[in-house]
């Protein structure tokens, strides 16, 4: 439906879950997708196989988003090989779930370094190539809990709320350069991140969700593809909530 032919896209955390579905959906729309991951090479290769199986194109781009030097080296190399970066999806994320009384400074630091630092480092590395082309799309993957809060997720919800601040600030900083910056805020989506939840916890989430089910990674990916498209050119600084109505 949306045509991304000729665009070069970077998807952080593209090896699994929402990042994998997003990588495939962007490739199906015609983008060449650089599939980032941190350590799970097998899963990343499987994403690439699925991209190619769907008739798309891409390559692997391993780096730790929390390491600014590694981010710069990887993005610079990608720009040298492909000449441009058009689309950045800041999807890589971790959740370390603890109640306030148990959360450690290490939990906070690790969550912040990946979820917040990672998004800023990747945006910083991609913004010059985007400015040169006077066109760019940055989509940050936040979460419903950034706005609703969730017991046991003090570090995670803080990091995802920070992503919304980053989204709004970068939207204002780079609008004049033809670059839009938006966020998607998924509700509960069936991935490795939510795999360990008990059946009772999953049922509770379903009961709180007007659409009556947990979401699929492809349903988040569809919103990302739209925000990355030409058709979304008048949308910036916004949050698209893909949550089955659980927070309205
Ligand atoms: P997931 O299945 O756990 O996958 C996480 C991905 O992030 C993997 O590809 C992982 O790479 C990558 N990653 C983690 N740390 C990284 C790092 N330091 N550098 C590079 N890559 C890193 O997660 P998911 O459920 O798909 O979630 C994707 C995003 O959506 C996250 O930002 C998450 O917070 C957000 N989200 C998820 C849900 C949900 O219900 N699932 C809801 C709201 C928001 P490896 O494979 O190499 O480990």
For residue range 21-68, what is the model confidence (pLDDT) as tens digits?
999 999 999 999 999 999 999 999 999 999 999 999 999 999 999 999
- Tens-digit pLDDT profile for residues 218-245: 999 999 999 999 999 999 999 999 999 9
Q: Can you tell me the distance from the alpha carbon of 171 to that of 181, in angstroms, rounded to the nearest whole number? A: 5
Pocket test for ligand 1, best of 10, 12, 14, 16 (most atoms within 8 A of CB): 16
Predicted local distance difference test score (pLDDT) of residue 244: 98
Query: Which residues form the pocket of ligand 1, taking CB atoms under 6 Å from any ligand atom?
Result: 12-13, 15-19, 36-40, 43, 64-66, 91-95, 114, 118, 141, 143, 186, 188-189, 191-194
- Residue 91 Cα to ligand 1 middle (Å): 6
- Residue 17 Cα to ligand 1 middle (Å): 7
Measured by CA distance, the residue closest to atom 36 of ligand 1 is 143
Which of the four pLDDT bands, split at 50, 70 and 90, describes residue 1? confident
CA distances from residue 183 to 66, 96, 117, 137, 168 in whole angstroms, order as listed: 19, 21, 16, 11, 9
156 is known as an active-site residue: yes
- Residue 176 Cα to ligand 1 middle (Å): 31
Predicted local distance difference test score (pLDDT) of residue 231: 98
Predicted local distance difference test score (pLDDT) of residue 60: 98
Mean of all residue pLDDT scores within the chain: 98
Reduce the DSSP state of residue 239 to 3 states and report it. strand
- Tens-digit pLDDT profile for residues 102-111: 999 999 999 9
Nearest to 166, CA basis, from 229, 222, 197, 123: 123
Measured by CA distance, the residue closest to atom 32 of ligand 1 is 93
Predicted local distance difference test score (pLDDT) of residue 174: 98
Number of the ligand 1 atom closest to the C-alpha atom of 92: 7
Strand-pair category, 32-35 with 239-242: unpaired
Do 142 and 198 contact (CB within 8 A), yes or no?
A: no
Beta strands (DSSP E) in the chain are 8-11, 32-35, 57-60, 87-90, 136-141, 179-186, 239-242
Residue 162 phi/psi, 5-degree rounding, is -60, -35
Number of the ligand 1 atom closest to the C-alpha atom of 156: 34
- Residue 139 Cα to ligand 1 middle (Å): 14
Q: Which of 37, 121, 156, 174 is labelled catalytic?
A: 156
- Tens-digit pLDDT profile for residues 63-88: 999 999 999 999 999 999 999 999 99
- Tens-digit pLDDT profile for residues 171-223: 999 999 999 999 999 999 999 999 889 999 999 999 999 999 999 999 999 99
Q: Can you tell me the distance from the alpha carbon of 155 to that of 141, in angstroms, rounded to the nearest whole number? A: 16
Measured by CA distance, the residue closest to atom 26 of ligand 1 is 17
- To the question of pTM greater than 0.95 for the whole model, the response is yes
Torsion of CA 170, 160, 245, 233, to 10 degrees: 20
Token reading at 82: 């492909």
Estimate the share of the chain in helix, then strand, then coil, as percent rounded to the nearest 5: 50, 15, 35
pLDDT at 123 over 90: yes
């Amino acid at each position: 439906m949306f045509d991304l032919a000729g665009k070069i896209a970077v998807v952080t955390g593209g090896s699994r879950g929402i990042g994998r579905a997003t990588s495939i959906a962007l490739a199906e729309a015609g983008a060449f997708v650089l599939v980032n991951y941190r350590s799970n090479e097998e899963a990343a290769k499987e994403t690439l196989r699925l991209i190619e199986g769907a008739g798309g194109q891409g390559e692997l781009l391993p780096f730790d988003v929390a390491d600014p030097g590694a981010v710069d080296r990887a993005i610079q190399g990608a720009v040298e090989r492909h000449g441009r970066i058009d689309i950045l999806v800041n999807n890589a994320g971790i959740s370390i779930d603890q109640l306030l009384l148990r959360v450690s400074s290490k939990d906070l630091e690790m969550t912040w370094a990946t979820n917040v630092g990672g998004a800023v480092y990747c945006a910083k590395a991609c913004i010059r190539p985007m400015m040169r082309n006077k066109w760019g799309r940055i989509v940050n993957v936040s979460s419903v809990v950034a706005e609703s809060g969730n017991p046991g997720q003090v570090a995670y919800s803080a990091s995802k709320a920070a992503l919304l601040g980053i989204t709004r600030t970068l939207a204002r900083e780079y609008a004049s350069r033809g670059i839009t910056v938006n966020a998607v805020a998924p509700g509960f989506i069936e991935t490795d991140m939510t795999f360990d939840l008990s059946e009772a916890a999953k049922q509770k989430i379903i009961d709180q969700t007007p659409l009556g089910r947990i979401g699929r990674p492809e349903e988040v990916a569809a919103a990302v593809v739209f925000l990355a498209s030409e058709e979304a050119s008048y949308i910036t600084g916004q949050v698209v909530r893909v949550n089955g109505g659980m927070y309205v």
